[in-house]
Structure 1
Amino acid sequence: MAVELIKVPSPGESVTEGRIAKWYKPDGSAVKVDEPLFELESDKAAQTVTAQVAGVLKIKVPEGDTVPIGAVVGEIDSAGTPAASAAPAQATPKPTAAAPQPASEGAVSPAAQRVLAERGVDAGQVTGTGPKGVVTKEDAVGYQSPAPKANGPAAAPPTSPPPAAKPTAPGSRETRQPMSMIRKRIAERLLESQNTTATLTTFNEADMTAIQDLRAKYNEKFEKKHGVKLGFMSVFVRAAVEALKAFPSANARIDGGDIVTQHFYDIGVAVSTEKGLVVPILRGADQLNFAAIEKAIGDLAKRARDGKIGVPDMTGGTFTITNGGVFGSLLSTPILNPPQTAILGMHTIQKRAVVVNDQIVIRPMMYLALSYDHRLIDGREAVQFLVRVKECVENPERMLLEI
């Protein structure tokens, strides 16, 4: 019998454990080579683990369990026979719609179990009113009533809650679920940033007319030649690189009592996923043209959203760009990503009245924010850095001509 063990792969050197976030295939089902098996979630990233051989899946570790790297979580029997019916392994019972079935006295329905577990009530204390004494969800919710049930109609309390305030399915006004490992790590990193850096933010605004005109004029030819659209992010990446070259302290980091100036430009680009915010790194951004930057960012963003991004893809960045404008943010103060000492925040483009050559005109404007570690970067440098970004964005031809 040929059995292939399914082991937890290592997402990166610093990762020691992972959480089985989701099994894509039920226990006892047939799987094909390269077919997704489960989603592994670590404190750095979420990745999809695929089948290395074809056969029948046997799940040994249920969803929600945290296991060390290298642990066996299942196996694939290449000579096995698929089960007639199978269901994914789960950490906790989930409410499902099913036809009523006979049950012995004292049994508890899955929905009732969930309600009682959330409220810390022993199922043995609740009297079941369902078929053959099954404790139903209504029984579990009713047990929480402060007044005991009476044989006749109960008197209405002086003040009744409005209908909208009544609990809805699954019987509670709130839902509790474990925080994902990625979200925990994000929380730790944000708190670490606030507690270990002297963060300040400076602001400016950029007239986006030149970029919009550039895209309107060349985007069709650009996409036809390179197979990717000309976006705003490539312009901002190049603008950031130009500013980093002019002000090296924004591309440096503090290591103990030393200042480490980095002579390479690995730019982190924040990407929002269902699991949380991840920041894949665009390596050697100073060596890439607009098309290469757009392609690289598109590939990183897709892999991040598909759960195929790895820890190496998100480590070693020297500077970060985040774009809250895609969600409609008009202004924000980005939080540093240690050990980096600066982060650039882009925002939504909004038409505003501005003065140009002593004339009031309507222009598409974007607020820019630069958060920086004041321990390493002085206010004058931070302001000049952001002015340089503004100049490059408003005059993109300068970056093409390198002037």
Structure 2
Amino acid sequence: MKVIVVGGGGREHSLAWKLAQSPEVEEIVCAPGNAGTAAIGRNEPVGAEDIEGLTALARREGAGLVVVGPEVVLALGLADRLEDEGIPVFGPGKAAARIEASKAFSKELMEAAGIPTASFGVFDRPLDAKKFVRDRGGAWAVKADGLAAGKGVLICPDPASAEAAIAEIMEDRAFGEAGARCVVEEFLTGEEASLLAFVDGKEAVLMPSAQDHKPIGEGDTGPNTGGMGAYSPAPIMSAEIEARALNEVIRPAVEEMARRGTPYRGILYAGLMIEEGSFKVLEFNCRFGDPECQPLLMRMESDLLPVLLACAEGDLSKAEVSFSDDPAACVVMASGGYPGAYRKGDAISGIEAANAVEGVYVFHAGTALDGEGQTVTSGGRVLGVTARGGDIKEALERAYEAAGRIHWEGAYYRKDIGAKALRRMT
């Protein structure tokens, strides 16, 4: 079978890497891919948001499955377009992808399904949003309603900073049209963790837990990014919390989507805030997290292809899903200046040496091949150095040893990925 992977980041490289291990896969085609995916399959210069171009590519290649990585093109309706052409696709349709594409929709769905979440208000006018926080006082999370590449949430310790955040999102349009509407919700304390599930429209099969690191700086300081590292499992998420989250979060969301006539098929990702054994949902995402995808797929022992096909076909009941007990960790290496302005085209060295570390695989994100075949930087997040180990400490040590072997001018990575997990081990 020929499989097309849509996207060009670290998530898509890890999907291509795992799918290429399937005996049923004859060829991987990535659109547009990166320097890493070029070594696994064939890259095609079709943009990850070009619905007609991607549909034409899938038709021309005779794709047996299209696996969609990024959320934006799902929100634009790529899955619907491919289904209209009779092409199997892994990822929700446009209506179901609203669970991530609109935070207001997501919060309303949680409320309707009885899913535990923070109290909130939804606003189309900044004056109303500012009055809401001013009247109530306290700390707030102010969120752009639409997609903002994981950066559209501003944490505000008091009403004054919340009003400034509302102005930044709704008046200054810091996140473009994503900020035409905003969600203001109570600030939750605790520790975040991610729980992802394969969903076939009716049933859900959980993956192990994971934990992301959003802020650019060590100690979770500085502006949010797409994610600076991740590990799996997350010790904060006990087996009891995981079971409760399946029954109180994932299944009710899937059932509510089906009740509305928009059955959900693909990855359903719940971001949870956990404190003293209780939890609330921060957000839903309609795709694999990046970089959570990398350690999760490194731990996955079963064949990924039949699981994705089963979701696309609407019946997970016979699919085998199994994961190693060994933890895995991913350290993201970024261009200097990210998440602000950064330079492109810097030559990268040491990837082969990093891959030689036991248990390590370096997933490419913002990379490209120059005219001489040299791997160079082409994005903010450049590489995801991922490792498995006998425990989380060993996985992190291996990832950091490998990251230390990779060099380019201005390369940056956090040195404290997994610190929360290590503290829980002591």
TM range (shorter): under 0.3
Output the TM-score relative to the length of structure 1. Answer: 0.22
Which structure would you say has the larger Rg?
1
Output the TM-score relative to the length of structure 2. Answer: 0.21
